Amino acid sequence: MKTEPETLCPSAQPNWEGAQVFAVVGGTPDRPETAYLDQAQPVTDELLAMAAPVAPAEVFRFSAPCAKGACAHFDEGGQSCRLAEKTVRLAPVVFEKLPKCAIRNDCRWWKQEGVSACRRCPQVVTVNYDPSLEMRQAADPKVK
């Protein structure tokens, strides 16, 4: 898969090439709250095992190089991430200040949507079996 190393997806899977963990999901199932690490960390077997018995992407947030047109969320015509655009359009603000985030300089969502993405980002869980209606719609590539 061709990637763009300088721009990172903040909702990646741990098995994607170049994946790093940059945050831990806490809070409750109804109100997830991401806590951002001071520095992104490499994905190791030990780290993935810490998530057991749930999937690592239920409790960690991973970044990886944006796959652009190879990703179902990417709008090839507009050259933008529709997941980021819909998260900003549909999800509520959950953090008024800019969260401290180790990947900000390279984050696709930040580059595209700015502070509006960061104010909503703490509620994002990459694997969520009971998401809010807004997050379900944002994550569904079929929803415009």
60 or 110: CB nearest ligand SF4: 110
Q: From the CB of 99, what's the least distance to ligand SF4, in Å?
A: 5
Q: From the CB of 104, what's the least distance to ligand SF4, in Å?
A: 4
122 or 136: CB nearest ligand SF4: 122
CA 53 to each of CA 32, 48, 50, 117: distance values in angstroms, whole numbers, following the listed order: 18, 10, 8, 30
Nearest to 131 by CA among 8, 9, 11, 47: 11
List residues near ligand SF4 by CB under 6 A. Answer: 10, 99, 101, 103-104, 107, 109-110, 117-118, 121
Ramachandran angles phi, psi of 25, nearest 5°: -90, 125
Q: From the CB of 37, what's the least distance to ligand SF4, in Å?
A: 11
74 or 110: CB nearest ligand SF4: 110
Nearest to 25 by CA among 124, 108, 144, 102: 124
CA 135 to each of CA 30, 53, 106: distance values in angstroms, whole numbers, following the listed order: 11, 24, 23
Q: From the CB of 25, what's the least distance to ligand SF4, in Å?
A: 12
